[in-house]
Amino acid sequence: MFDKAVFPRDKVCGDALPGRVVKKLTAIDPAYAEALRKFPRKNTTRYTRLIYGNREICMEWVLDAYTCSRMEFDNFLLDLVRTHTQTTLYLGSAITGIRREGDYFLISCEDEKTYRCRMVVGADGANSIVARSVAGKVVDRAHRAVSVRAYYSGLTGFDTDSLYVYLDPRFMPSYLWVFPLAPGLANVGMGMHATQLQKKQVNLRAHFQEFLHADLLKDKFKNAVPARSQEGFSLPLASDTRPVSGDGYLLLGDAASLVDPVTGEGIGNAMCSGHLAAQTIMSCFQQKNFSAAKTCEYDKALKARIGKELHTHHLLQRLLTRMPWLFGMAFFFCSIPFVQRLIKKLF
Ligand SMILES: Cc1cc2nc3c(=O)[nH]c(=O)nc-3n(C[C@H](O)[C@H](O)[C@H](O)COP(=O)(O)OP(=O)(O)OC[C@H]3O[C@@H](n4cnc5c(N)ncnc54)[C@H](O)[C@@H]3O)c2cc1C
C-alpha cells in the first residue's frame, strides 16, 4: 500500500463519521468497530439539526455516529492495518506514473523506484492518479461539489452531541455546517455544487465568512477564534456513474466518485467500496482472472449495495438545486413526525 503522506496526516473534511462507518467496520470485523467505540479521541453524536431561518428539524440517529478529526481517524484506521494485516506500507511515497506492460502495471514512485503488479487499486482520493492514468477519467465539473472548511474554538451554543447544518435563502444553494469536535471547538465549512458556483460566480470563501456573520450565527461566533486557516477541496459526487473497474484495476472511495450528493458524506461509502473490492480482488487471484469481464463484479456489487440510494439522493440534490424554494416546503413537511421517520430510513 502506497500513500504519498506520512501519517498521522490531515485531510480536508467535515470530520463527521456517519453511522455507515461503524456499520462497515462491524461488517469487516466487529472487533474494529469495538476498537473505534473505545477510541478516546472522538466525539459521539446523536442528532443532526437542520436549521432554515427560524425553523429547526432535529433528527435522532439510531446507529452510533461520531465526529473525529481525520488526523486522528485515518491514523486509527492505519493502526488497524498495521496491527491486523501483513500489508507492506510505503508511506511518504507518492505515485507519479502508472503504465501498462503486458499483463502487468508498472508503478513509478517519487523516489524513482518502479514497482510491478498484476492489479492496481485506486483508493487515492478526489484527484486520483489511478483514475486518470489507468481508467482515463477526467474531472467533470457536473459531478463535483466544492467546499471550504476551517476549525474554530470559542464557539457558544452548540451541543457536542449534534451536527448542525444551516440553510439560508440568501446563500442558496450552498449550505453551512458546524460539526462540534469538543465543547466550543468545531469543524465549520460550506459547500456548493461546482456548476452552481460557476453559474452564480460565487466566491465561496467570502460567502462563508458572510454566512458566519449573518443573524443566524453571529452570536454563536462572536468569540470565535480560527484554529487554523480555511482550506478548500472538491468532492467527487456519486452522480458520476462511470465504471469503477476495468482490466486489472478497481477504483474506490473518492477515486470512484462515491460522495453522497445530498449529505456530502463519503467516508462510509469509501469503506463500503473497500470491503466489496476486497472480495472481488480475492476472487480474481483465486481464479487468476484479472479481465474487465471479471473485475466488473465489483461494479455490480457496488451498484447493488448503494447504487439505488445514491441515485435517489442525486435526484433529490438536482431538484433542490433547481428549486431551492422547495426547502421551505420541505421544512414544513419534515416537521411532521411520520416524515421524520421516513428521512431516518432514507439516510
Ligand atoms: C470539505 C469536505 C468535507 C467533507 N466532509 C465529510 C464528512 O463530514 N463526512 C464524510 O463522510 N465525508 C466527508 N467528506 C468526503 C470525504 O472526505 C471523502 O469522501 C473521503 O475522505 C474519501 O476517502 P478516500 O479514502 O477515497 O480518499 P482520501 O481520504 O482522500 O484518501 C486518499 C489517500 O490517497 C493518498 N494519495 C493521493 N494521491 C496519491 C498519490 N499520487 N500517490 C500516493 N498516495 C496518494 C492521499 O495522501 C490520501 O491519504 C468531505 C469532503 C470534503 C472535501
Look at the alpha carbons of 58, 192, 313, 258 in this order and tell me if their dihedral is positive or negative: negative
Nearest CA to ligand 1 atom 5: 14
Does ligand 1 have an atom closer than 6 angstroms to the CB of 260?
no
Higher pLDDT, residue 119 or 341: 119
pTM across the whole model: 0.95
Q: Is the distance from CB of 302 to CB of 243 less than 8 angstroms?
A: no
Nearest atom, ligand 1, residue 148 CA: 1
pLDDT for residue 111 = 86
**What counts of helices (H) and strands (E) characterise the chain?**
11, 17
Summarize pLDDT for 194-229 with one digit per residue, the tens.
Answer: 999 999 899 999 999 999 999 889 999 999 999 878
pLDDT for residue 142 = 94
Quick count: other Cβ atoms within 10 Å of Cβ 121?
20
Does ligand 1 have an atom closer than 6 angstroms to the CB of 5?
yes
Cα-to-centroid distance, 251 and ligand 1 (Å):
13
Cα-to-centroid distance, 112 and ligand 1 (Å):
25
Cα-to-centroid distance, 53 and ligand 1 (Å):
31
Summarize pLDDT for 106-160 with one digit per residue, the tens.
Answer: 999 998 999 999 999 999 999 999 999 999 999 999 999 999 999 999 999 999 9
pLDDT for residue 109 = 96
Does ligand 1 have an atom closer than 6 angstroms to the CB of 197?
no
